[in-house]
Structure 1
Amino acid sequence: MVFVNSIFSWFMKKRIHQIELFMKYPHDVQEEWFHALIESAQNTEWGKFYDYKSIFTIQQFQERIPIQNYDTLKPFIERMLNGEQNILWPSEIKWFAKSSGTTSDRSKFIPVSEESLEECHFKGGKDMLSIYCNNRPNNQMFTGKGLVLGGSHQVNQLNHDCFYGDLSAVLIKNLPIWAEYYRTPDMSIALMDNYELKLDKMAEATIKENVTSISGVPTWTIVLAKKILELTGKKNLMEVWPNLELYVHGAVNFGPYREQFRQLIPNNEMYYLETYNASEGFFGIQDQENSEDLLLMLDYGIFYEFISMEHFCEENPKTYLLGEVELGKNYAIVISTNGGLWRYMIGDTVKFTSISPYRIKITGRTKHFINAFGEEVIIDNAEKALTAACLKTGAKVKDYTACPIYFKGEEVGGHEWLIEFEKQPSNLACFVEELDDTLRAVNSDYDAKRFKNMALMPPLVHNLPKETFYNWLKAKDKLGGQHKVPRLANDRTYVDEILALVKMG
């Protein structure tokens, strides 16, 4: 196994040279991909409608094709779901990644082409390992197995030739045979759709393995870890898996969970690596061990544009290319891909922390913010405020959501927070005060509205009973790594539902 580990590590590090090339020549690489995508789709129904054969420049592309979202592409995707081909992309589309992104009832079905599987999703997974092997040349990861904690993996057949499932299901079903040997649990457990039962089976199966890496959303990884410790009677995961060395995470901000993982994995040499991937594509990897910024991956068959959030609500907002973005500004991401998504807004917002090379930090969602009174609070603000409040009071947040309190009579508005603590704050009033103070420090619009309580009163924080969010997700049949608690909302739907559940129970 040591010899095999050396071979795998050498092979993975060979890719680093290509990564360095797109870091050095980002604009050339992006322009090459733009022309390759346009040429590939010329004879599709979409390409003929917009006359891709006469598009020679990025400017022509931007002028001719409107910005898209799922609703505008949905009629085309529904035809593809019924088996029609050559609609948005020329190669056969047999797989669709079912995505909800949030806990909303509406599902999206994202087409997954052979090219997007191989050149984007799988390539991103291999690059993640390449970067790790390059940063940790003495790693022993391939001497054991990787525990992969995905979503609720049920695969469904649409018709004779088409299938759908969450992204992790699609990837698992299409992995090469050799990859199955290096992952755990086996497919019979990984593809279970009952998530509660699957967690139990996963705990029972994986404690017998030599697990060297874990991949999964922090919230569900913690749930699994607690089951494993309860089952084994061990104090921490290092006692269960002494060779554990890598944790790969994504989907939610890791900051609020960092201290919990330090206790679960008391190893100063443990490597934490963040990725940014979604049903629509694989976008970023944390390439520096001592920085949480994500390297924007530019050679995955994705052409990037960005909309400044200052102009996001305009009817036809200007999009910016990589060479036009500015550091520290919030941008919505627009992608054109080798899966047939054209000028498609994925709903995430980022800010650039570096432009040589291009590195980003995820700041939130275009729809996940609170701006009921002009305060423009985004997830990045909320996470910073919660982190500061936890540090001051010794608390650990497990999950949270927040929404506006609207004006009522003579009362001013405010924000209502539902927080489930893993560890209670030493003083809840102090926690709330620090939360408020930090929000005022990081967001001048919020601070202005809070001045003398003129437009916003101090935050109203509910300390929720344990398992509240778990029970809420379960009641909505939304258990699993694909489903996350919506952090911020500009209406009261989620908060009112959860408060009603707490009142009932």
Structure 2
Amino acid sequence: MSIKSFAAKLFAQKVYNDTKKWSANPLSTQKKVFNNLITQAADTAFGKDHNFSEINNYADFAKHVPVRDYEGLKQYVDRAVAGEEDVLWEGKPIYFAKTSGTTSGAKFIPLTKESMPYHIQAARNAILLYIYETGKADFVNGKMIFLQGSPVLQEKNGIKFGRLSGIVAHYVPKYLQRNRMPSWETNIIDDWETKVDAIVDETMKEDMSVISGIPSWVQMYFERLQQKSKKKVGDLFKNFSLFIYGGVNYEPYRAKFENLIGRKVDSIELFPASEGFFAYQDKQGEKGMLLLLNSGIFYEFIKSDEFFTESPKRYTIGEVEIGINYVLIISTNAGLWAYNTGDVIQFTSKDPYRVIVTGRIKHYISAFGEHVIGKEVESALNEAMQGTNVRVNEFTVAPQINPKEGLPYHEWFIEFENEPDDIDAFALKIDAAMRKQNIYYDDLISGNILRTVVITKVAVNGFQKYMKSIGKLGGQNKLPRLSDNRKIADALNNKKL
């Protein structure tokens, strides 16, 4: 055992002990976080506008601070971006994580000297808890790759900004610098396809042991490795033993990954976002990720089926139930207050609190009142693939409200690696799985309001071409699993893709 492996195991024991302490006391942990947040932000512009000095408990907070999305906080964020101090949090942010997807264009999510360490600690602790549980630590001696955005940052009014993954790249500890790949020169390449090719060239002859990134983009890296080496990834990297991922559900990709790798490897799921690092997988055999209750984030939850009502009830950690879909609301030491993340989660455990991500509150299909969410379409596809040699590269789902003939339907756009022998029978398997999960969808099929699922095959690399056409190829960009309109569907039907 190397010195580095031995030290990792000792550190893992400490992190496990610390984690056990706060996770065993969830309510007091969250209360402490809440009190610290209110105290530290009392003299900010936001704190004064929302009477933080009068807030003594959560009920006071819920009374004074309404739930907002980015647009609701934008007036404060704009002031901070302009260089004003003490707006949402004490002083100035040290970074802004730049993301996209709002009605007003780019979002600038503040990162402060208090919040930034938690992004780094969470990713580190996820790996250390894996070491503690499994006893496997030899991988720390090999090369590690983190597929991420460019670390080149811009500066405005004395504050740096860029992609979160690019910002985090500046915080890789010195003891990992020699192991970390790709090189700085490769990491700053803007064009994603050029960057992937350069990463392939750099890593092909290295001893890669850990590979991390969003599954769809790691898949592209694996495919190019295989094309160039004519080998399975697991044969090329003999010591590759750990895949770390986040951003999307891994299950739809698992069969394809195991085929590309040629064997199974352990994996760790993460739940990071620009707004905060919310959870990570702490047990290999447990469903769900440990919700990080001690990381400078106070959590609230709104039931997703009540979210769009006039005054939905806000729940705290002690009031949640297992198996219910909740919209995740956060207040943080980066200055986000009762902030709607847009993520929908379910609790799988309350001792400790573990969650799975079931979708996005804006990514759903309810064109006919069916309330279909991301988790349901992913589960249906996985069920249909069981016991077959079907493999899927990527997929998305959209409603077809006005077909040229017949009843409306849900249209599944699927890029197959291995197609089913009978595409119609495969579609019926998906449909049956959907009907078991969603009673509203089942009622619509039974009542002849909808016809069963229709599959439209997408050409090889069709989804990559689509993402490239909208300027979102690679990095941290994710294809929505489903949408309530035909925007993506119409683009995929465009023969130019």
TM-score, normalised on structure 2? 0.96
Q: What CA distance in whole angstroms lies between the structure 2 residues aligned with 1:204 and 1:475?
A: 26
Instruction: Identify which range, 369-378 or 237-246, moves more after superposition.
Output: 237-246
Shift of 1:112: 1.0
Map of 2:190 onto structure 1: 193
Pick from 158, 163, 170 the counterpart of residue 161 of structure 1: 158
Q: What CA distance in whole angstroms lies between the structure 2 residues aligned with 1:252 and 1:101?
A: 17
Structure 1 stretches of 4+ moved >6 Å? none
Pick from 246, 251, 262 the counterpart of residue 250 of structure 1: 246
Secondary structure (helix, strand or coil) at the match of 1:93 reads coil
Shift of 1:411: 5.0
Deviations 1:4-49 (A, max 9, x none): 2211231233111111112210000000000001111111111111
* One-letter amino acid of the structure 2 residue matched with residue 132 of structure 1: Y
Q: What CA distance in whole angstroms lies between the structure 1 residues aligned with 2:5 and 2:373?
A: 43
Shift of 1:158: 3.9
Shift of 1:237: 1.8
Pick from 324, 344, 347 the counterpart of residue 342 of structure 2: 347
Secondary structure (helix, strand or coil) at the match of 2:39 reads helix
Secondary structure (helix, strand or coil) at the match of 1:372 reads coil
Shift of 1:180: 2.3
Q: What CA distance in whole angstroms lies between the structure 1 residues aligned with 2:428 and 2:210?
A: 39
Q: What CA distance in whole angstroms lies between the structure 2 residues aligned with 1:101 and 1:174?
A: 26
Q: Does 1:384 align with 2:388?
A: no
Instruction: Give the aligned length.
Output: 497
Task: Please show how residues 243-282 of structure 1 align to structure 2 within 5 Å.
Answer: 243-268=239-264, 270-282=265-277
Q: What CA distance in whole angstroms lies between the structure 1 residues aligned with 2:486 and 2:466?
A: 15
Map of 1:84 onto structure 2: 84
Report if the CA contact (8 A) 1:393-1:431 is conserved: no
Map of 2:55 onto structure 1: 55
Shift of 1:156: 4.1
**Is the alpha carbon distance of 1:266 and 1:449 closer, same or farther for their aligned partners in structure 2, counting shifts above 3 Å?**
same
Deviations 1:165-208 (A, max 9, x none): 11100111243444422311122212221111110111111123
* One-letter amino acid of the structure 1 residue matched with residue 124 of structure 2: K
Q: Does 1:111 align with 2:107?
A: no
Shift of 1:273: 0.9
Map of 1:7 onto structure 2: 7
* One-letter amino acid of the structure 1 residue matched with residue 83 of structure 2: G
Map of 1:93 onto structure 2: 93
Q: What CA distance in whole angstroms lies between the structure 1 residues aligned with 2:110 and 2:310?
A: 27
Map of 2:496 onto structure 1: 504
Report if the CA contact (8 A) 2:192-2:475 is conserved: no
Shift of 1:410: 8.8
Report if the CA contact (8 A) 1:97-1:111 is conserved: yes
Map of 2:485 onto structure 1: 491
**Is the alpha carbon distance of 1:272 and 1:105 closer, same or farther for their aligned partners in structure 2, counting shifts above 3 Å?**
farther
Shift of 1:313: 0.8
Shift of 1:443: 0.6
Shift of 1:459: 1.7
Instruction: Identify which range, 388-397 or 256-265, moves more after superposition.
Output: 388-397
Map of 1:216 onto structure 2: 213
Shift of 1:138: 3.5
Instruction: Identify which range, 136-145 or 407-416, moves more after superposition.
Output: 407-416
Map of 1:128 onto structure 2: 126
Instruction: Identify which range, 163-172 or 8-17, moves more after superposition.
Output: 8-17
* One-letter amino acid of the structure 1 residue matched with residue 474 of structure 2: G
TM-score, normalised on structure 1? 0.94
Secondary structure (helix, strand or coil) at the match of 2:105 reads coil
Identify unmatched segments of 5+ residues in structure 2: none
Instruction: Identify which range, 395-404 or 26-35, moves more after superposition.
Output: 395-404
Q: What CA distance in whole angstroms lies between the structure 1 residues aligned with 2:401 and 2:172?
A: 49
Pick from 311, 319, 335 the counterpart of residue 316 of structure 1: 311
- Could you say what the CA RMSD is over the residues aligned between the two structures, in angstroms? 1.9
Map of 2:401 onto structure 1: 406
* One-letter amino acid of the structure 2 residue matched with residue 281 of structure 1: G
* One-letter amino acid of the structure 1 residue matched with residue 129 of structure 2: I
Shift of 1:131: 0.9
Map of 1:357 onto structure 2: 352
Map of 2:230 onto structure 1: 233
Report if the CA contact (8 A) 2:222-2:260 is conserved: yes
Secondary structure (helix, strand or coil) at the match of 1:416 reads strand
* One-letter amino acid of the structure 1 residue matched with residue 435 of structure 2: R
Deviations 1:315-373 (A, max 9, x none): 22111011111111110000001111000010011111111111111110001110011
Pick from 407, 411, 416 the counterpart of residue 416 of structure 1: 411
Shift of 1:413: 2.4
Q: What CA distance in whole angstroms lies between the structure 2 residues aligned with 1:257 and 1:363?
A: 16
Q: What CA distance in whole angstroms lies between the structure 1 residues aligned with 2:121 and 2:323?
A: 29
Instruction: Identify which range, 255-264 or 433-442, moves more after superposition.
Output: 255-264
Task: Please show how residues 424-435 of structure 1 align to structure 2 within 5 Å.
Answer: 424-435=419-430
Percent identity over paired residues: 34
Pick from 471, 480, 484 the counterpart of residue 474 of structure 2: 480
**Is the alpha carbon distance of 1:435 and 1:409 closer, same or farther for their aligned partners in structure 2, counting shifts above 3 Å?**
closer
Instruction: Identify which range, 205-214 or 1-10, moves more after superposition.
Output: 1-10
Report if the CA contact (8 A) 1:472-1:498 is conserved: yes
Shift of 1:408: 6.5
**Is the alpha carbon distance of 1:392 and 1:463 closer, same or farther for their aligned partners in structure 2, counting shifts above 3 Å?**
farther
Shift of 1:160: 4.9
Report if the CA contact (8 A) 2:235-2:261 is conserved: no
Shift of 1:391: 2.1
Deviations 1:458-484 (A, max 9, x none): 122101111111011111111113111
Report if the CA contact (8 A) 1:16-1:134 is conserved: yes
Report if the CA contact (8 A) 1:392-1:431 is conserved: no
